[in-house]
Structure 1
Amino acid sequence: MGIAVIEKIENHYRAHFERRLQHNVEEVWAWLTENEKLAKWFNELRVGDLSEGGFMRFDMQDGTFEELAITELKLYSVFQFSWWADTVRFELFPDSDGCKLVLIETIEKMTDHTPKDLAGWHVCLDVIEALMDGRTIERMEEWKKWYENYKQAVKNVTS
């Protein structure tokens, strides 16, 4: 899988990830929105109220939780929620062999943490695909590799 396309657009940035999956949109949607499946690829994140205007719940790992607003929801098509000051958007496009999964993170301000998040999303998408295919991935090793790529990509777009 190639690195996400990262661009500066007006006064913010956008990271665009794509994955071609051999699974239908209903299966992929379940991995994005059902807490039992979500826990397998993003342990800190849960759906609190799956509706437009509902929320995601992020476990801060210190006994506290943050609620992230679900800002757009179209069944089997679009799932968008706030990611603190940023936005995370999943889009699903059916095709004859499964579907295309797109993740777009709209980033208000690049920080030292941004490449970590981008590498994290990259690996999350790889993990979803692996789990659906019955495989496993060594997450930390993959993350370390992609983190170096995303550090350079962020540097390229901000310099």
Structure 2
Amino acid sequence: MDHFTTIRLTAERLREDHLADLVALHLDPEVSRYLGGVRSAEKTENYLVANMAHWDQHGFGLWALRTKEGAFAGRAGIRHILVDDIDEIEIFYAFKREFWGQGFASEIAAAMTDIGLLQLALPSLIGVVNVRNGASRRVLERSDYLLERSANSRGEDVVIYRIRR
């Protein structure tokens, strides 16, 4: 599952040459507002290394997203995450601001949900969203994820959505 496409996006397995695009994405304070804050180039490089290792360990992970025209649009993935000491599998995504409000998040969330539940045959997927991030909450709700509970993750109030196979 190194590559896949949606109607308007191409997803490719994360590689070292995606670093510059990820750094620019993570340095945008609006993009990073609900992602734990702006990340330095060094933190983004560590993020890249950790997410490439996730691929090697689990056979799935983070994809770099490009438009059909080839422009970097953002990132999205399926990853293991500890939530209240339970190993869960989360979908997650972040787009450059110029792609907000155009349905790209819903498009990629639907694709990752299909990959996770149908192709990887995972029993369920979660989305962990900052309580103030109404846009991401609506994306998960439109993708048939159900609000499961509130929690605190890395010092932030979040809600957890789940979809089951």
- TM-score interval for Structure 1 and Structure 2 normalised by the shorter chain: 0.3 to 0.5
Q: Calculate the TM-score normalised by the size of structure 1.
A: 0.36
